[in-house]
Chains A and B, each alone.
Chain A
Amino acid sequence: MGIVLLVISLVADGFLPDFQAVIKSEYKPRPLEMFEHINKWVVILCWCYSLATGQLLTTYQFAVKYPAFLKDIIVLSILTSIGQVFVYRMIKQFKQHIVPFVITTRKIFTVVISIIFYNHPTTTMQILSIFIVFGSASYEYLSEIYGDKKHEDHKAIKVLDTEERVEMTETEDSMRK
C-alpha cells in the first residue's frame, strides 16, 4: 500500500513541472504570480474536499484543543512558503527538470555535511554512490549552462543573418531604384 502511494506521488511529481512549464512558456507569468494562483487553487480544492468530508470542522476543533499543533502548522507553513518562493524562481529561470536536480543535490550535500560533521560511518559503496550523484548532477548543470550558451549564440547568429539579409534586400532595392 505504501509503495502504491509513493508511486502515485512520483507520477504526480513527474507531471507537475511539465504543467508548470506549459504555463510558463505560454503565458509567461512572474514566479510569484504562478506561486499565488496555484496555491489559491490548492486551498480552494482542499477546502471543497474538507467541507464535503467534514474535516474542516475537525481540524478547527483539533487546533483549539491542542495549541501546540497550531504552532507546528504555522512554522511549517512559513518554511514551506519561503522554500516555494525559491522553487518558483528556479522554475521561471531554468528548464523544468532542474528543480528536482537541485533538490536532490541539496539532499546529498546534507548527507555529506552530516557525514563530515558527525563522523558517521559510511561504506565504500555509499561514498561511491555520492560521487555518482554529484558527478551526474555536475554534468547536467554544466551541460545546461553550456547548452544554453550555445543556444543563445546560435540564436544571435540567426538574428544577425536575418538582419544582414534585410540590409541586403534594402540595398538591392535602392540599387534597382
Chain B
Amino acid sequence: MFPAPHWYRWYLRLLLDRRISYRKNVTLKLFRLKQPYDIKNEVEYVLFDNPVSMIWAQSLFAWILGFIVNTFFYKEHTKMPVSNLIACAIVVIVSTHTYILAIYITNFPIVMMVKSCNIISVVFVGIFCSRVRDKGLQLGRTKMIVAIFITIGIMMYNFGGDVKHQ
C-alpha cells in the first residue's frame, strides 16, 4: 500500500508470510503492533512494517523527557564523547531491531526465553571483551557460573513441559 524500498518490502513479505501461523501467540500490548490494524466497515487489514520507526518513536519520547529534566533541573552538564554515545546508540538499535524482527518471524515465548538469557552474553562480554578500565566495575569469572545457572534455569522452565498437554 505504502511505498517502501524494494528490498525491504521483499524482506518483510518474507517475514510476514511466516508470521501468520504464529498469530495465536500474540499476547502483550506491545505486540498489538504485530496484529493488523483494521478500518471499521471496510474489509482491509494493514500491518505496520517499519520496525525502525517503532525504535525512534520510543527513543524520541525518552530524549524529550531527558532533555526537559536535564535542562530545567540541573545547571551542570557532563560532556561525553560522541563516539561512545554513537556506539551505544548503534548497539541499542541493532538489539531492538533484531528483537522486533525476531518477534515477527518466530513466536513470542521463544523470543522472550532467549532474551531472558541475555545475562550470559552480558557476563561473557564483561569478562572476556570488556573495555572498562575501572577495577571496581570489572567482572570476576565466578559471575559466569551464576549466569550459566540462571540460563539453565530459564531453559529448564521453558522446556520443562506443560501439564495441560501431558
**CB within 8 Å of B: which residues of A?**
1-3, 5-6, 8-30, 32-47, 49-50, 53-59, 61-62, 65-66, 68-69, 72-78, 80-81, 84-85, 95-97, 100-101, 103-104, 107, 111, 121-123, 125-126, 128-130, 132-133, 135-137, 139-140, 143, 151
Identify which of A47, A68, A75, A140 contacts B143 (C-beta below 8 A): A140
Q: Is A136 a contact of B137 with CB atoms below 8 Å? A: no
Kindly state the separation between the CA atoms of A84 and B61 in the bound complex, as whole angstroms.
Answer: 11
CB distance from A140 to the nearest CB of B (A): 5
Do the beta carbons of B33 and A69 come within 8 Å of each other? yes
Residues of chain A within 8 A (CB-CB) of B149 are 132-133, 135-136
Q: Does B41 contact A (CB under 8 A)?
A: no
Q: Is B65 an interface residue (CB 8 A)?
A: yes
Nearest B residue to A144 by beta-carbon distance?
Answer: B143
Task: List the B side residues contacting A42 at CB < 8 Å.
Answer: 55-56, 59, 63, 89, 92-93
Sample (7) of A-B pairs whose CB atoms are under 8 Å apart = A6-B110, A10-B117, A34-B80, A46-B59, A58-B3, A97-B143, A133-B154
Given contacts A10-B121, A96-B122, A140-B143, 18 further A-B contacts (CB under 8 A): A5-B101, A10-B117, A14-B121, A19-B91, A25-B132, A28-B78, A36-B63, A41-B82, A43-B63, A50-B52, A53-B5, A57-B2, A66-B39, A76-B30, A101-B150, A121-B162, A126-B160, A137-B146
CA distance A81 to B58 in the complex (A): 7
Expressed in whole angstroms, the Cα–Cα distance for A85 and B69 within the complex equals 11
Check if B24 is an interface residue, CB within 8 A of chain A: no
A-B CB contacts (within 8 Å), total count: 310
Most A C-beta atoms less than 10 A away, residue of B62, B78, B85, B112: B62
| B163 CB-CB contact with A under 8 Å | yes
Q: Which residues in window 89-109 of B have CB below 8 A to A?
A: 89-95, 98-99, 101-102, 105-106
Interface contact A12-B98, CB-CB below 8 Å: yes
Cross-interface CB contact of B95 among A16, A23, A54, A57, cutoff 8 Å: A16
Q: Which residue of the partner chain, among A23, A54, A77, A85, contacts B88 with CB atoms under 8 Å?
A: A23
Please measure, in the bound complex, the distance between the C-alpha atom of A158 and the C-alpha atom of B11, giving whole angstroms.
60
**Nearest chain B CB to A33 CB, angstrom units:** 5
Q: Which residues of chain A are near B59, meaning CB under 8 Å?
A: 39-40, 42-43, 46
B121 touches A13 (CB 8 A): yes
B117: nearest residue on chain A (CB-CB)?
A10
Contact of A22 among B84, B106, B153 (CB under 8 A): B84
Q: Tell whether, in the assembled complex, residue B77 and residue A133 are in contact, meaning their CB atoms are under 8 Å apart.
A: no
For B118, the chain A residues whose CB sits under 8 A away are 10, 13-14, 100
Q: Verify B29–A140 contact, CB threshold 8 A.
A: no
- The answer to whether A111 and B157 have CB atoms under 8 Å apart is yes
* Inter-chain contact B106/A16, CB cutoff 8 Å: no
B152-166 with Cβ < 8 A to chain A = 152-157, 160-164
Most chain A C-beta atoms within 10 Å of own C-beta, residue among B70, B89, B94, B152: B89
* Among candidates B50, B62, B98, residue contacting A80 with C-beta atoms closer than 8 Å: B62
Contact indicator B80/A41 (Cβ below 8 Å): no
B131 and A23 form a contact (CB under 8 A): no
Cβ contact within 8 Å between B50 and A45: no
CA gap between A129 and B50 in the complex, in Å: 37
